Amino acid sequence: MANLINYLSGVAIPVIIMLIILFGLKEKVEVFDTFLNGAKEGIEIVFKMFPTLIGIFLAVGLLRSSGIIELICNLITPLTNLLEIPSQIMPLAILRPISGSASMAVAVDIMKNYGVDTLIGIITSTIMGSTETTFYTIAIYTSSVGIKKTRGILVAALAADIAGIIASVVICRILS
């Protein structure tokens, strides 16, 4: 069974490419020219998004090096204690909407310190799976299509992230 899956995964992409080429030939589409036009549009989108990505990476770097995350965690500790949210996951909860790589580094650090089978480790894993890098995703999608007014999108996405974090804590506590 494993050999079959390995074989299928190895031939899947070449088969799909061949099917696209055959369909293009059947429909009398200039496949290579269409590919080049798509690649050109892709590069243009990357150039449009580049300033946004630079801004996000700069902001994440500033947040991590300035100590603001620790300050925010300390300020909201009374609220998290009241809601019985473990304070160990708060750096992850703060960084997850901003940066995937930074939140992954924080999640790995939490797992190393507390273990993957502990309640903290399980909550961390669940948060990583049930939330999104909101600012990055919004920046990519809105800048690629030229949307300027993102306030409503941002509020809804952050509300979904908060719901994902709270649901992760609640469900993991119930199931543990």
Overall number of domains in the chain: 1
Output 63 or 41, whichever has higher pLDDT: 41
The answer to the question of residue 88 being in a domain is: yes
pLDDT confidence of residue 136: 78
| pLDDT of 121 over the 90 cut | yes
Tell me what pLDDT residue 89 has.
93
Average pLDDT over residues 151-172: 91
Residue 39 covered by a domain? no
CA–CA gap between residue 103 and residue 60 (Å, rounded)? 10
Q: What is the model's pLDDT at position 23? A: 92
> Which residues, other chains included, contact 61 with Cβ-Cβ below 8 Å and sequence gap of 6+?
none
Among 77, 142, 150, 135, smallest CA distance to 102 is for 135
Domain contains 45: no
Specify if 60 maps to a domain: yes
Per residue in 133-161, pLDDT (tens digit) is: 888 788 778 877 878 787 788 889 889 99
92: pLDDT confidence band, cut at 50, 70 and 90?
A: very high
Domain annotation covers residue 20: no
Distance, CA of 82 to CA of 80 (rounded, Å): 5
Residue 93: pLDDT band (50, 70, 90) is very high
Q: Average pLDDT in the 96-101 region?
A: 84
Residue 154 lies in a domain: yes
> Does the residue 3 lie in any domain?
no
Query: pLDDT tier at 44 (50, 70, 90 boundaries)?
Result: confident
Residue 150 lies in a domain: yes
Q: Please state, in angstroms and rounded to a whole number, the distance separating the CA atoms of residues 126 and 120.
A: 10
Regarding pTM above 0.85, the answer is no
Which range of residues forms the domain containing residue 62?
51-175
Q: Give pLDDT, residue 54.
A: 81
pLDDT of residue 168: 94
Q: Is the pLDDT of residue 63 over 90?
A: no
